Amino acid sequence: MKSFFQALDHILDKTVLFGYDRVGYYLRRPLWEESETDVSLKGKIALVTGANSGLGRATAEALALRGARVYLLCRNRERGDAARTQIVQATGNEDVHLELADLASQKQIRAFAEDFQKREPRLDILVNNAGILPDERSLTEDGIESTFAVNTLAYFLLTNLLSPALEVADGARVINVSSGGQYLADLDVNDLQFAQGQFDGTKAYAATKRAELLLTLIWSDWYRERGVLVFGMHPGWADTPAVQTSLPTFRAIMQLTLRTPAEGADTIVWLCANPKLGAAESGGFFFDRRARPIIRVEKTRNSPEEVASLWRQCAELTNYEGPIKPDAEAFERAASRE
């Protein structure tokens, strides 16, 4: 019977349409071992960005339910307070805390990271989930295109600044929430801020999600000997506030079969909690609790030089000087893992 569902999973993976919605989720569930997520996270410290709604909210609640101390990193105090109250009521875990920072602002990211590490010298779980999909091109206060600033640079800067807290934890995990849309993304490292041609919000979003995965590969290489696991994942098609506001036509067509936020967040929670995951899985791109290919369209593959350019530009745009400093061989290894 298991071989049947494995074959079905393979077919669903190829079709996309029925693989990414609720149909795929429920058809794959027979393959899952609940013991991999039915674990205690008591004593673990977790930080979830974009945690006031959608996937982030569902992830934070699942981690709190398992006993973790959970920090919700949100932009809006009112929505963040409401999410915290709801999570505490749903889980009975009072150890849930709201942190405020606009991830479009490098100043606020730096201030948060510095303050957080004064209070919490250790971080066991970092879920980089926050993201935006604007219709029009705009610039942040730092003069950077907003989609790239929030979906890529914020991940880069926050993760790197929190590196000391991650490295002192025992087996810390970083989960970068990407998108299945990255499969069709052509990441142009010569135009990371989408200044050339007409701006397309959906394409820009997909490109930034692809950039996240390249960073995931670089980080997994860097941290391999430092005890930190780094994963990429995509949630499938989930009915989140972002989809409701940014993709209303898609939602109207797919509404009856979209995953709930909790279903979309299932693999995030699995990556946070599964004790069986180790260095061999670090750098993987996961969907529905299984590693998936990063590349499906060969022309979207990036060269080592392009991977290096992405890292270099992220470092320059954030004025990041280390201590994480991948070398040419690291970029070569990252590109070879796609």
Active site residues: 205
Burial of 34 (0-12, 13-18, 19+ CB in 10 A): exposed
Q: Please report, in angstroms and rounded to a whole number, the separation of the first and last CA atoms in the chain.
A: 31
- Count other Cβ atoms within 10 Å, centred on residue 141: 12
- Pull the structure tokens for residue 114: 């510095």
- What's the CA gap between 218 and 143, in Å, rounded? 26
Strand-pair partners of 99: 73
Closest to 51 (Cα-Cα) out of 105, 106, 88, 92: 88
Look-up: residue for tokens 């929430």?
Answer: 177
**Cα–Cα distance between 122 and 173 in angstroms, integer?**
12
* Rounded distance between C-alpha atoms, residue 294 and residue 27, angstroms: 22
- State phi, psi for 165 to the nearest 5 degrees: -70, -35
Query: Using omega within 30 degrees of 0 as the cis cutoff, is the peptide bond preceding 323 cis?
Result: yes
Separation CA 299–CA 306 (nearest Å): 13
Strands (E) located in 199-292? 229-233, 285-287, 290-292
Report the length, in residues, of the chain: 338
Collapse the DSSP code of 184 into the 3-class scheme (helix H, G, I; strand E, B; otherwise coil) and give the result.
Answer: helix
How far out from the chain centre does Cα 192 lie? 19
